Amino acid sequence: MDKPHLEARKAPKQARSQATVQAILTAGARVLAQESLAGFNTNRIAEVAGVSVGSLYQYFPNKAALAVALIDQERERLAVALEAAVASVSDAPLLEGLSRLARLAIEQQFQDPVYAAALDHEERRLPLGTRLASSESRLVGAILQFLEDHRDELPTFPDGSPKEVARDLLLITRVLVEADAHGGQGAPPSLHPRLVRALAGYLLAPGVA
């Protein structure tokens, strides 16, 4: 029953070592973005970061911990952006709000599709259990806030708790965007309307209550 520690091993105290940690994280992101999971091994990452593997293992107990750190970092970025977007559309009508949130999701994913896909892939593979509950639930929380802000335009949900609904919206957004990002270069023009349709449809579904 040995659980692998996913936390950082040691906190860097001097400025020098903080730079090292940062270099490692940046290198990890660079490698993932350019070679996806193919080049994602600790030796390579250390090389790209310009440090030795030993240094890497001084701050990350294992490879998984580094992956988790990258995932956390990215989820953080996303959560901040989403929370801001939700706040900015709190007074807009529901449909316009959804449209803008959809736009945001598409932009985020297409900004670096390979990196985003690789992180998603790792996230599924890792023994995260409740680990990323924090970052994921922050995203869910933002969506819940959005639903709250537009409660007057929404029917009550007979099936599924609000939390389930919020999670469903996130999942739907992720697949649809990721599927289109996987193939071509840019986002096809039909993506945004299809996504809005999926989200709005789920929320406003007629005759299914």
Collapsing DSSP to helix, strand or coil, 187 comes out as coil
Which positions from 14 through 33 interact with its own copies, judged by CB under 8 A? Answer: none
Residue 127 as a binder of its own copies (CB under 8 A): the answer is no
Which of 41, 88, 90, 134 is the binder for DNA (CB under 7 A)? 41
The residue type at 23: A
> Could you tell me if 155 and 208 are in contact, meaning their C-beta atoms sit under 8 angstroms apart?
no
Taking the C-alpha atoms of residue 46 and residue 145, their distance in angstroms, rounded to an integer, is 41
CB of 54 to its own copies, least distance (A): 28
Q: Which residues contact 27 (CB under 8 A, 6 or more apart)?
A: 45, 46, 48, 49, 50
| DSSP code of residue 36 | G
Nearer to its own copies, 10 or 163 (CB): 163
Please, which residue, 1 or 11, has the CB nearer to DNA? 11
Picked from its own copies, DNA, none, the partner binding residue 146 (CB below 5 to 8 A depending on kind) is none
C-alpha closest to that of 117 among 190, 169, 40: 40
Instruction: Rank residues 3 and 13 by Cβ distance to DNA and give the closer one.
Output: 13
- Are 138 and 74 in contact, with CB atoms under 8 Å apart? no
The 8-class DSSP code of residue 152 comes to G
Shortest gap between Cβ of 42 and its own copies (angstroms)? Answer: 20
For position 20 contacting DNA by CB under 7 A, the verdict is yes
Whole-angstrom distance between the N-terminal and C-terminal Cα of the chain? 45
Q: Which listed range, 12-20, 84-92, 103-111, 173-181, lies at the site for its own copies (CB under 8 A)?
A: 173-181
Rounded to 5°, angle at Cα 38 from 43 and 172: 125
Query: Does residue 130 bind its own copies (CB under 8 A)?
Result: no
| Contact residues for its own copies, defined by CB under 8 A | 37, 95, 121, 124-125, 158-161, 164-165, 167-168, 171-172, 174-176, 179, 190, 193-194, 196-198, 200-208
| Contact residues for DNA, defined by CB under 7 A | 10, 12-14, 16-17, 19-20, 38, 40-44, 50-55, 57-58, 62-64
